[in-house]
């Protein structure tokens, strides 16, 4: 357990800009039973508990509460079972996401969800945020791979949910309640994960455009052609410029949009789909296309997207990464609205994201010490969120509500559904000790 100022400072914030709070202490349990003991003790004394994985969250979910305990679960890092006959893996919550897929790969298996933070984030954090990634279009998000879990409840009791059975409809699907619950309903200590056979082949392509509309049209046309690629990601002009400056991969910096496309599966199907996707990109106005010759070149092309956040983060002292999501048909409208909003408020916003999922990451490059600029950021953020809701979108596609989005949740849900969310919280955490202040105002 850490208690001194110097020791707890690194646990006072997560990946979200401008949010900090010193906790009372930080504890590092190693087993479900130790988590249970901590929670029982905290419940006895009425002390709030904030669960933390690697702290890479982008909505303030693991920012501590004053006088609260932080349960940091990174030492719960054991893969407990890889059952290749049933295509499942059981892991403690602190295992790093990439290690899950690396372990699966040794058996020719595949764990598809690949958040940009996969080299650092924990599987428990991924489940608690229902994280997505670059392969979401074809393979879905974390929820689609959770078959079961062990959860420590608000009173310290230990519940086991779900099973290895492919079909299991016994009772309510309680595990689903905890997926995306952001540490507000219970502490997920172990996860039972579904694995897939590893795809035998993959092709990676880039297409460069003089207009964002043309890139969006390409995405619609690919889907209309009944191709479901595993990845359809885009970068806007500012992001391409920052990536090139950072990674020097030879991208032209005068393009309005870059599309990263990937298809995987049987080699014959991959070759056919890749050729058709490049053709569709050209028909829809791509000024240049590239297909990687091999895996290594594919990884190099994908670097453009994988480095987008880090490249943008170098430009100004503070980076605020947004996560709005709209129906795919509204993507071009939304991207234009973001660019207009940036100009109106004289702000720097680079936009990239999961074009195939309608999930955009407008990234504010700003300075939290400049009060005037931060007011403009706040105004622009509010306008972007309002527009998203008016287009039938959602305030968060993958980063969660946490502290950052809680002001907008009632508006998106409406009174009746918001009330339902609060009833669930009140019934599972009646004393409000699990991650208080998050999700709800
Ligand atoms: C560079 C970068 C790229 C990113 N890319 C993506 C992306 O592509 N897709 C995406 O979805 N997200 C992305 N993220 C956001 C973030 O990595 C994810 O939300 C991730 O799942 C958080 O995992 P973590 O272990 O860091 O959790 P933390 O940040 O520590 O916690 C996140 C939330 O989960 C709760 N929590 C953590 N562990 C548990 C547990 N065991 N039981 C119950 N509650 C728990 C916490 O209380 C908090 O509310 C990115 C972040 C960064 C910094």
User: Using one digit for the tens of pLDDT, what is the confidence trace for 292-327?
Assistant: 988 888 888 888 788 888 899 899 999 999 999 999
Q: Give the containing element (helix H, strand E) for 353.
A: strand 348-354
Please report, rounded to a whole number, the percentage of residues in the chain having pLDDT higher than 70.
100
Terminal Cα distance for the chain, rounded: 30
pLDDT over 90 (residue 332): no
Average pLDDT of every residue of the chain: 94
How does 146-168 read in b/e, with b if 16+ C-beta sit within 10 Å? bbbbbbbbbebebeebbebeeee
For ligand 1, the distance from its centroid to the CA atom of residue 112, given in whole angstroms, is 16
Look at residue 3 and tell me whether its pLDDT is greater than 90: yes
Residue that wins the pLDDT comparison between 328 and 166: 166
Is the CB of 373 inside a 6 Å radius of any atom of ligand 1? no
Task: Find the radius of gyration of the CA atoms of the chain.
Answer: 22
The whole-angstrom separation of Cα 94 and Cα 53 is 6
Mean pLDDT to the nearest integer, 227-254: 90
Q: Report the range of poorest mean pLDDT among 129-138, 240-249, 298-307, 385-394.
A: 298-307
Q: Distance between CA 49 and CA 434 in Å, rounded?
A: 5
- Report, as an integer, the average pLDDT of 278-285: 96
Cα–Cα distance between 35 and 31 in angstroms, integer? 6
In the numeric block, the tokens 């979401």 are attached to 136
- Copy the structure tokens of residue 411: 């508006």
> Lowest-confidence range among 195-209, 236-250, 262-276?
236-250
Q: What does the CA dihedral 367, 252, 248, 204 come to, rounded to 10 degrees?
A: 110
What is the structure's pLDDT at 297?
86
For residue 114, the ligand 1 atom closest to its alpha carbon is: 8
Where do the H-state alpha helices sit in 284-414? 295-306, 308-313, 331-344, 371-390, 406-413
> What percentage of the chain reaches a pLDDT higher than 90?
85
pLDDT tier at 206 (50, 70, 90 boundaries)? Answer: very high
Does 29 sit in the ligand 1 pocket, CB within 6 Å? no
Protein residue whose Cα sits closest to atom 36 of ligand 1: 125
Average pLDDT for 28-38: 98
Distance 220 CA to ligand 1 centre (A): 30
Query: Is the pLDDT score of 382 beyond 90?
Result: yes
How many whole angstroms separate alpha carbon 301 and alpha carbon 243? Answer: 11
Q: Which residues contact 427 (CB under 8 A, 6 or more apart)?
A: none
Q: Which of 158-162, 265-269, 332-336 has the lowest mean pLDDT?
A: 332-336
**β-sheet bridge partners, residue 92:** 190
Among 10, 62, 191, 230, which is best to mutate for testing ligand 1, by the most ligand atoms less than 8 A from CB?
Answer: 62
**Which stretch of DSSP H or E encloses residue 202?**
strand 201-209
Residue nearest to atom 44 of ligand 1 (CA): 183
The CA-based angle 33-39-45, given to 5 degrees, is 140
**Predicted local confidence at residue 142, as pLDDT:** 98
pLDDT of residue 331: 85
Pairing mode, strands 69-72 and 49-52: parallel
| CB atoms closer than 10 angstroms to residue 318 | 17
> 265 pLDDT band (50/70/90 cuts)?
very high
| pLDDT tens by residue, 123-165 | 999 999 999 998 999 999 999 999 999 999 999 999 999 999 9
Q: Residue 96's pLDDT is what?
A: 98
Choice among 318-332, 372-386, 414-428 with the minimum mean pLDDT: 318-332
- Given a cut of 90, is residue 51 above it in pLDDT? yes
**Model's pTM, two decimal places?**
0.94
Q: What does the pLDDT read at residue 98?
A: 97
Give the per-residue pLDDT at 47.
97
Q: Is the pLDDT of residue 212 over 90?
A: no
Q: Is the CB of 54 under 6 A from ligand 1?
A: yes
CA 251 to CA 242: how far, in whole Å? 10
**Cα(136)–Cα(115) distance, integer angstroms:** 9
In the numeric block, the tokens 């240049």 are attached to 288
Strands 231-236 and 348-354, sheet pairing: antiparallel
pLDDT in tens, 187-201: 999 999 999 999 999
Tell me how far the alpha carbon of residue 196 lies from the centroid of ligand 1, in angstroms. Answer: 23
């Amino acid at each position: 357990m850490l208690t001194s100022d110097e020791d707890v400072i690194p646990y006072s914030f997560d990946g979200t800009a401008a949010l900090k709070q010193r906790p009372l202490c930080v504890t590092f349990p190693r087993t479900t039973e130790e988590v249970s003991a901590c929670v029982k003790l905290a419940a006895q004394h009425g002390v709030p508990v904030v669960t933390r994985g690697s702290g890479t969250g982008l909505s303030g979910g693991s920012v501590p509460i004053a006088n609260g305990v932080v349960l940091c679960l990174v030492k719960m890092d054991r893969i407990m079972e890889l059952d290749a006959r049933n295509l499942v893996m059981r892991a403690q919550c602190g295992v790093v996401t990439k290690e899950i897929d690396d372990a699966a790969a040794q058996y020719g298996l595949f764990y598809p969800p690949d958040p940009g933070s996969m080299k650092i984030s924990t599987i428990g954090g991924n489940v608690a945020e229902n994280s997505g990634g670059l392969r979401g279009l074809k393979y879905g998000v974390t929820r689609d791979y959770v078959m079961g879990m062990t959860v420590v409840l608000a009173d310290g009791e230990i519940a086991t949910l779900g099973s290895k059975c492919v079909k299991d409809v016994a009772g309510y699907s309680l595990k689903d309640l905890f997926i995306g619950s952001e540490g507000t309903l219970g502490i997920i200590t172990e996860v039972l994960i579904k694995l897939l056979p590893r795809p035998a082949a993959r092709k990676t392509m880039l297409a460069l455009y003089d207009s964002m509309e043309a890139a969006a049209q390409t995405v619609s046309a690919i889907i209309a052609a009944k191709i479901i690629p595993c990845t359809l990601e885009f970068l806007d002009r500012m992001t391409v410029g920052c990536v090139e400056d950072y990674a020097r991969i030879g991208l032209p910096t005068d393009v309005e949009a870059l599309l990263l496309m990937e298809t995987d599966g049987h080699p014959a199907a991959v070759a056919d789909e890749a050729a058709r996707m490049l053709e569709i990109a050209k028909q829809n106005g791509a000024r240049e296309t590239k297909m990687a010759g091999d895996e290594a070149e594919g990884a190099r092309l994908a670097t453009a997207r994988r480095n987008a956040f880090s490249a943008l983060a170098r430009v100004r002292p503070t980076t605020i990464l947004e996560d709005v999501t709209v129906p795919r048909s509204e993507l071009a409208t939304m991207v234009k609205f973001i660019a207009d909003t940036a100009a109106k408020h004289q702000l720097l916003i680079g936009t990239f994201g999961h074009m195939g999922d309608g999930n955009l990451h407008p990234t504010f490059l700003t300075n939290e010490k400049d009060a005037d600029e931060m007011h403009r950021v706040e105004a622009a953020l509010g306008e972007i969120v309002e527009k998203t809701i008016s287009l039938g979108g959602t305030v968060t596609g993958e980063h969660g509500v946490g502290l950052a989005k809680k002001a907008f949740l009632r508006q998106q849900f409406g009174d009746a559904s918001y009330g339902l969310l609060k009833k669930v919280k009140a019934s599972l955490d009646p004393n409000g000790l699990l991650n208080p202040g998050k999700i709800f105002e």
